[in-house]
């Protein structure tokens, strides 16, 4: 492994000698998506990346054009917009400025750029986008099953429509959604590669639909559409009180296929009263409980064109609203990694168990051949108990079981349709004969966000921690940011989401994911401004307003803005941000928010035997006041960026009053906090609640507290994301490394050493003696504590974005070597292109390789006592006209650079 990393490091240092041939444009996106088939926006935004082999390349101008037909050298007559040459450096989120776009229409676009060196690129390869449907464009009707449904097991209804085509097809787009979940097929072939569609939103306010290009699935003559529905989040069990039918009792389908023919005519096939309905092999399917499938009940060939559906029931067509249908804006849930069995185990209890080696979210495919009527039961678990037996107590009421009843005869392959499980282990009952690895395969499911960040370092435990952080995100990013993927919960807890949001933006392109979810947050926000505990809100309307949870309304929009540079997300969420500030104002007395329910510093360190009062309890109202100030600060930031002068003045005044109230209530004149805990000092320092004159004292008290706990962390969900940042900010990076590298409870590396492959909900989910924490709340896939990934990227490796140049338009690279690490590497695909920072230390010499994408600038901070120690590409840095010395900042020498690849060497590290 060490040799592989050394080789990778050597390759990266060779990269500066490679270069692009010329100025060019790539990575075209519309509404932050590559070639979307249907977008909701009628005035979309466009983005692109610039490639150049020259250092210091900036875009000076651009030209965009949009057409209703593909571009070629002789035909640009169908233009709906030509920007002309526009003098601007903007290459992200450029707004459309042409004639109004039409619904259900495909458009083509491309761009070219001029740089600051007098070069002009060729026109980019053309991209496309399609516009979606508005309420008036839907000719389809919602349809329900036309038979009396079994309301106990609730089998999945199936729908079918036969139609003929007699002309040559030019294009065919299918628009599909459901009240519930759906899987669709045309002529027996699956439509799309998304699962658990249409996903989960605030269904009472909006239901997403998906659009698919299905031209290649259609036959010239006879055709059939087949769709199966599942209960899903719409009417399945949700939350932890046996609640079901939250959004409705009946499943429904809406389907519209719009076909254009080469002769200029068109045809639309819609869901209406002409469709047929029945039931098939899915006997029951619930997200929490799993799926029961009886292959004997399959209607063989029911998705094919020549199937005889004469015995099927009709359907009920209804006029349920269509004005709440919206085009999908985020990435769909898809299949990703697969895992073969790592071990096949017989437990002390005699159970047949398979270990896939990775705690994941998805399901298991099985292959089997046996007699008709035989049943196979697959149970799922994250861990084995101390004795090595299958452990499911922490699932609470969720069964997490799939049952397959065999048709018999030939080999059969099974996997679920409308459920998912969180597991590393499965228990197999009823399988005929010996369990063999080739009969089982685990499949990971998660939202199809593109990976953007890669982190590695010389410490293998930290590399495993990063692996666990990423897999915690994968397993909990299934259309919404859930808190756990296995028990009877799986809800979009706002506190977890905000704590992890900045880390998430490093690991994956999370823009669309959060943009969609934040819209649901605003929709489910109560009229008084209260933000729910979970989004979509599956709890009571009054279940909201907790500090650190509801602040997702302000923290996540700000973090997404910083990571991607789009003011649009601030503009869209600003009313929600203000409403949340208003709720806190209304529930405060003299600017002090000290009432209401709060979760506090959830799951902070609390020893099993706390007779000595060592639990790190932080006053919940102190925490509330701290987040009151922080959310006000972030809303003030947004108001300034959006040019809201009156709001800005009011928020400046409000913020000062909130800070004054905090100091008066919770801080002594000498800077001691009312709660002498790590979280208290961390929040006060992170949110700038203390006068500058006593901040260093408070930082020292934080360090003293850490030393008191023998270099262990004691923070919970709200203090953990910030503790290492605060330590580094006040000059205690060595203490931050000590915390990070601690490997006994409580610490980040303790679960790693216990064999974890994801982040745990609790610091001690599994105790050193291999017993477990209380099963009522003990998830082994719960990403909140993975928020340390943000510090590993931004401080350890040193990649960050400046607030006045968000989205990595203005880059800050400031590595913090330490912890006996000999190297740390980060590669991040930003909206502007690849950004890298790789540092290593060797015999007192510090080396830093960086890659800065075109159309950006960067400030590089090198740990050097003076400029004479710094070299770039084996030359004194002072010899380079492309590198400007800015000055000293503490122990760092600061340099300004433009785009390009640089290899710095500091002869003697400070």
Distance CA 577, CA 550 (A): 10
Point out the catalytic residue in the list 761, 803, 851, 872.
761
Distances in whole angstroms, Cα of residue 545 to Cα of each of 162, 172, 589: 51, 47, 16
The residue among 548, 567, 471, 476 whose CA lies nearest residue 517 is: 476
Residue 260 phi/psi, 5-degree rounding, is -110, 135
DSSP string, 85-111: SEE----SSEEP-SSPPPTT-EEEEEE
Residue 726 phi/psi, 5-degree rounding, is -65, -45
Point out the catalytic residue in the list 400, 489, 851, 872.
489
Residue 910: alpha-carbon gap to chain centroid: 38
CB 474 within 8 A of CB 192: no
The residue among 574, 731, 714, 688 whose CA lies nearest residue 641 is: 574
> How long a stretch of residues is the chain?
910
CB 796 within 8 A of CB 824: yes
DSSP 8-class letter at 578: H
The residue among 446, 451, 386 whose CA lies nearest residue 421 is: 446
Q: Which helix (H) or strand (E) holds 732?
A: none
DSSP string, 177-189: EEESEEEEEETTE
The residue among 170, 171, 196, 173 whose CA lies nearest residue 37 is: 173
Residue 179: alpha-carbon gap to chain centroid: 24
Map residue 41 onto helix, strand or coil. coil
Torsion of CA 693, 696, 698, 699, to 10 degrees: 160
Show Cβ contacts of residue 201 under 8 Å, excluding neighbours closer than 6 positions: 207, 208, 516, 520, 536
Question: What's the order of all strands across the beta sheet hosting 222-230?
Answer: 189-190, 181-186, 222-230, 157-164, 276-279
Confirm whether 803 is a catalytic residue. Answer: no
Confirm whether 489 is a catalytic residue. Answer: yes
Distance CA 763, CA 770 (A): 13
CA angle 321, 324, 329 (to 5 degrees): 145
Active site residues: 489, 761
């Amino acid at each position: 492994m060490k040799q592989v990393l050394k080789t990778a490091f050597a390759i990266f240092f060779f990269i500066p000698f490679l270069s692009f041939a010329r100025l060019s444009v790539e990575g075209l996106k519309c509404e932050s998506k590559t070639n979307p088939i249907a977008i909701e926006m009628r005035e979309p935004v466009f983005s692109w990346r610039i490639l150049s082999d020259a250092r210091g390349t900036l875009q000076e101008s651009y030209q965009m054009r949009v057409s209703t037909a593909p571009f070629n050298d002789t035909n640009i007559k169908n233009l709906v917009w030509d920007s002309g040459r526009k003098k601007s450096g903007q290459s992200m989120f450029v707004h459309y400025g042409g004639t109004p776009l039409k619904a259900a229409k495909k458009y083509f676009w491309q761009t070219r750029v001029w740089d600051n060196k007098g070069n002009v690129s060729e026109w980019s390869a053309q991209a496309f986008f399609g516009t979606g449907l508005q309420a008036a464009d839907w000719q389809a009707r919602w349809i329900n099953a036309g038979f009396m449904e079994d309301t106990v097991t609730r089998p999945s209804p199936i729908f079918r429509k036969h139609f003929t085509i007699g002309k040559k097809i030019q294009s065919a787009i299918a628009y599909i959604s459901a009240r519930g979940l759906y899987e669709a097929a045309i002529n027996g072939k699956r439509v799309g590669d998304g699962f658990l569609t249409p996903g989960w939103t605030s269904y009472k306010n909006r239901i997403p639909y998906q659009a698919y290009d299905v031209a290649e699935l259609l036959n010239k003559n006879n055709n059939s559409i087949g769709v199966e529905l599942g209960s899903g989040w719409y009417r399945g069990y949700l939350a932890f009180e046996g609640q079901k039918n939250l959004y409705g009792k009946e499943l429904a389908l809406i389907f519209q296929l719009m076909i254009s023919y080469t002769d200029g005519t068109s045809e639309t096939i819609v869901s209406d009263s002409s469709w047929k309905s029945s039931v098939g092999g899915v006997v029951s399917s619930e997200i929490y409980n799993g799926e029961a499938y009886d292959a004997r009940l399959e209607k063989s060939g029911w998705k094919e064109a020549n199937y005889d559906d004469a015995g099927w029931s009709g359907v009920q067509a209804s006029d349920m609203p269509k004005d709440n249908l919206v085009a999908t804006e985020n990435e769909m849930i898809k299949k990703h990694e697969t895992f073969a069995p790592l071990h096949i185990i017989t437990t002390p209890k005699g159970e047949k168990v398979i270990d896939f080696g990775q705690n994941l979210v998805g399901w298991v495919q099985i292959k089997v051949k046996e007699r008709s009527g035989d049943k196979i039961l697959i149970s799922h678990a994250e861990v084995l108990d101390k004795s090595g037996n299958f452990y499911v107590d922490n699932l609470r009421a969720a069964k997490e079981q799939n049952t397959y009843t065999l048709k018999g005869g030939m080999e059969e392959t099974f996997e679920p349709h409308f459920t998912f499980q969180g597991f590393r282990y499965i228990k197999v009952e009823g399988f005929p004969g010996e369990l063999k690895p080739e009969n089982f395969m685990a499949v990971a499911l998660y939202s199809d966000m593109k990976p953007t960040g890669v982190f590695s370092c010389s410490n293998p435990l930290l590399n495993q921690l990063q692996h666990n952080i990423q897999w915690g995100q994968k397993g909990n990013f299934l259309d919404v940011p859930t808190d756990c993927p296995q028990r009877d919960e799986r809800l979009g807890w706002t506190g977890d989401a905000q704590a992890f949001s900045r880390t998430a933006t490093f690991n994956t392109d999370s823009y669309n994911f959060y943009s969609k979810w934040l819209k649901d947050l605003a929709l489910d926000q109560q009229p008084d401004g209260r933000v729910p505990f979970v989004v979509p809100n599956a709890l009571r309307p009054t279940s909201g307003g907790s500090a650190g949870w509801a602040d997702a309304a302000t923290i996540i929009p700000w973090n997404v803005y910083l990571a991607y540079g789009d003011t649009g997300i601030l503009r869209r969420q600003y009313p929600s941000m203000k409403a949340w500030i208003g709720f806190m104002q209304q529930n405060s007395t003299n600017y002090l928010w000290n009432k209401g329910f709060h979760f506090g510093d959830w799951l902070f360190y609390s020893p099993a035997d706390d007779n000595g009062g060592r639990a790190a309890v932080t006053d919940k109202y102190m925490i509330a006041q701290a987040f009151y100030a922080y959310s006000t600060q972030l809303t003030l930031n947004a108001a300034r960026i959006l040019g809201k002068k009156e709001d800005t003045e009011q928020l400046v005044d409000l913020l000062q009053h909130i800070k004054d109230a905090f100091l008066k209530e919770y801080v002594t004149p000498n800077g001691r906090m009312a709660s002498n805990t790590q979280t208290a000092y961390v929040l006060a320092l992170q949110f700038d609640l203390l006068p500058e004159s006593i901040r260093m004292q408070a930082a020292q008290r934080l360090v003293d507290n850490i030393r008191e706990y023998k270099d262990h962390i004691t923070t919970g969900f709200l203090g953990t994301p910030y503790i290492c940042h605060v330590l580094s900010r006040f000059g205690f990076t060595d203490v931050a490394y000590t915390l990070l590298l601690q490997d006994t409870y409580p610490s980040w590396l303790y679960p790693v050493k216990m064999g974890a492959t994801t982040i745990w909900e609790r610091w001690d989910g599994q105790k050193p003696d291999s017993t477990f924490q209380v099963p009522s709340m003990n998830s082994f896939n719960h990403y909140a504590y993975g928020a340390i990934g943000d510090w590993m990227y931004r401080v350890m490796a040193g990649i960050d974005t400046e607030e006045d140049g968000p989205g990595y338009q203005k880059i800050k690279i400031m590595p913090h070597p330490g912890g006996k690490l000999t190297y740390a590497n980060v590669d991040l695909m930003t909206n502007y292109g690849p950004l890298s920072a790789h540092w290593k230390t060797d015999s007192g010499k510090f080396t830093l390789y960086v890659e800065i994408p075109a159309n950006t600038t960067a400030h590089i901070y090198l740990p050097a006592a003076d400029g004479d120690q710094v070299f770039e590409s084996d030359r004194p840095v002072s010899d380079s006209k492309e590198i400007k010395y800015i000055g000293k900042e503490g122990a760092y020498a600061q340099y300004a650079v433009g785009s390009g690849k640089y290899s710095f060497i500091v002869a003697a590290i400070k």
